[in-house]
Structure 1
Amino acid sequence: MLRIFLTFLLFFCLSSISNARTINWLAHDFAPYYILNGQYQHQGRDESIISLLEKQLPNITFNRMLIPSGKVIQELSNTSNNACALSLYKNDYRKEHIYFTEESSTTGLSPSIAMHKKLAKALNIAESKEVSLLNLIQDKKLTLGVSMSRSYGQEIDTLINSTPNIDLVIRPTRDSLASLTYMLNLKRIDILLGYPSEHYYLAKSMHFEENLTQRPLNESPALSYGFIGCTKNEQGAKDIAILNEQLKVIKKTQAYNDLLMRWLPEDLRPLLKSRINSTK
């Protein structure tokens, strides 16, 4: 009898090990999506959404892997790996090499410009009012700061690259947006291009939030969507299927919606909420 019990116990243990599941999540040092240290450590938007998914899937081990942000797509495209990443942009080229969820994992406002509150007042730009980037850099002759090798969408990228005689400051460093935010506060540039949550987090962490404000751009789409991407192999297909279903669950929760708003300034939260509601 004891031998039968031990045989059954061994079979159960081996079955549990063989059925054990792990999803390797690629994370990178990119606030406010992943915040690895400092006052707001582990309060990043994307890392917090991964934690919501983890609670929904208690039988799957979530393993976080820290890599440079520029290596995420390369790692996911390597079919000998098994990994997933949150909040990725989908395009035809990436879909050839990576599996993506149908459900979006994040929804946010598209690129905006940050500026001094005094400049916004001088230009008579009301809070949350959309402005034309072309008008600001071509007609108003404002100096624009941008991060090198970063895409802001086809229309804005084309505008920046093809508009003649504009005053452009480009920073190539790893912390280029932080460096440009510092320059903006010192009025070495007039306006700074980035995403609303990034502007807000950097201004807040640098204690510049009382000086700076931001405005949405009418050259940007209403919303910016991110998706979960996983390695394009057998394991990745299984992971994508599970994660896609769990996204449907967490997106109905207040906790998820609160995370989308976490790193937005108060005046832009109603705009994001109204734009999300208009797509439902």
Structure 2
Amino acid sequence: MLRLCILFLMFCFVSPVSNAKTINWLTHDFAPYYILNGQYQHQGRDESIISLLEKQLPAITFNQIIIPSGKVIQELSNTSNNTCALSLYKNDYRKKHIYFTDESSTTGLSPSVAMHSKLADALELPDATEVSLLDLIRDKKLTLGISMSRSYGKEIDSVINTTPDIDLVIRPTRDSLASLTYMLNLKRIDILLGYPSEHYYLAKLMNFDKNLTQRPLIESPALSYGFIGCTKNEQGAKDIAMLNEQLKVIKKTPAYNDVLMRWLPEHLRPLLQERIEK
């Protein structure tokens, strides 16, 4: 009997189940990064990258916690928790409260403008050609749609906020980009500002993707980077170091590259590939 008890205790200490560790991922309902329902469920860019990391770490349990997007930074900053999140913007203020990977977890094209294909043809704007937002709204007098309280980068924000007499349509609702995409298809606005993958996903979901096209902006940086962030405590330091090493591995795989391209229109995929490889 004593021998059986000793064997049982030894099993408990070495069992991978009893020693299994969990990473709690903060996720939110924001397609095409996380797609929680519908025909493209679980095909989101960020949730797919979490899945690639999970395959690299079979001894660790990945648990996804859905919270409002506005609470992600607040939750990560709570040192009594142990949580991580993907695809975060990294700045000096956030680094005081959150551990970040050195390796980027996501790389994408910066904000672009969506427009009707016929308008792009009329303006003689070839596929993947960079255009000037200032020229479109000031000189060509096009009506621009934007989501309220969203930043698009210093230069673009400055163009919007300092250019006088522009025709601007602002939508404040939670689904503002979807509402604006619908307006764009109906030609109630001329151009729509947002990220390329968001434009493409919404247009595809609404069956407008054959009508609409996108152009990158001169005023945007070439690429937009996201990083993994984890709670700034002892466990968070271990998690961030481990995840940083695994990002180096998955970023060399075709599967990772496919995920980055998944929600980009065909004509912008070569542009992203070219910019990544520079």
Same fold? TM cut 0.5: yes
Aligned residue in 2 for 1:6: 5
- The alignment of Structure 1 onto Structure 2 pairs a total of residues equal to 277
TM-score by length of 2: 0.97
Shift of 1:18: 6.3
Aligned residue in 2 for 1:22: 22
CA distance in structure 1 between the partners assigned to 2:238 and 2:39 by the alignment: 37
Q: Residues 6-54 of structure 1, C-alpha deviation per residue, up to 9 Å, x if partnerless? A: 2232243156466321000011110000001111000001000000000
Aligned residue in 2 for 1:60: 60
Q: Residues 43-84 of structure 1, C-alpha deviation per residue, up to 9 Å, x if partnerless? A: 001000000000000111000000111111111111111110
Aligned residue in 1 for 2:103: 103
TM-score by length of 1: 0.96
Q: 1:163-174 counterparts in 2 under 5 A?
A: 163-174=163-174
CA distance in structure 2 between the partners assigned to 1:103 and 1:12 by the alignment: 37
Aligned residue in 2 for 1:122: 122
CA distance in structure 2 between the partners assigned to 1:33 and 1:59 by the alignment: 25
CA distance in structure 1 between the partners assigned to 2:203 and 2:19 by the alignment: 46
CA distance in structure 2 between the partners assigned to 1:238 and 1:187 by the alignment: 51
Kindly provide the amino acid, as one letter, of the partner of residue 4 in structure 1. Answer: R
Aligned residue in 2 for 1:77: 77
Q: 1:228-247 counterparts in 2 under 5 A?
A: 228-247=228-247
Aligned residue in 1 for 2:261: 261
Aligned residue in 2 for 1:274: 274
Per mean C-alpha deviation after superposition, the further-off stretch among 107-116 and 166-175 is 166-175
Q: 1:131-210 counterparts in 2 under 5 A?
A: 131-210=131-210
Aligned sequence identity (%): 82
Matched residue of 1:127: which SS? coil
CA distance in structure 2 between the partners assigned to 1:235 and 1:158 by the alignment: 40
Q: Residues 87-115 of structure 1, C-alpha deviation per residue, up to 9 Å, x if partnerless? A: 01101111111110000000011100000
CA distance in structure 2 between the partners assigned to 1:214 and 1:188 by the alignment: 17
CA distance in structure 1 between the partners assigned to 2:28 and 2:229 by the alignment: 15
Kindly provide the amino acid, as one letter, of the partner of residue 240 in structure 1. Answer: I
Shift of 1:166: 1.1
Shift of 1:5: 3.4
Matched residue of 2:96: which SS? helix
Matched residue of 1:64: which SS? strand
Kindly provide the amino acid, as one letter, of the partner of residue 246 in structure 2. Answer: Q
Unaligned runs of 5+ in 1: none
CA distance in structure 1 between the partners assigned to 2:277 and 2:229 by the alignment: 25
Matched residue of 1:200: which SS? helix
Matched residue of 1:19: which SS? coil
Matched residue of 2:129: which SS? coil
CA distance in structure 2 between the partners assigned to 1:121 and 1:134 by the alignment: 19
After TM superposition, what 4+ stretches of structure 1 lie above 4 angstroms from structure 2?
14-18
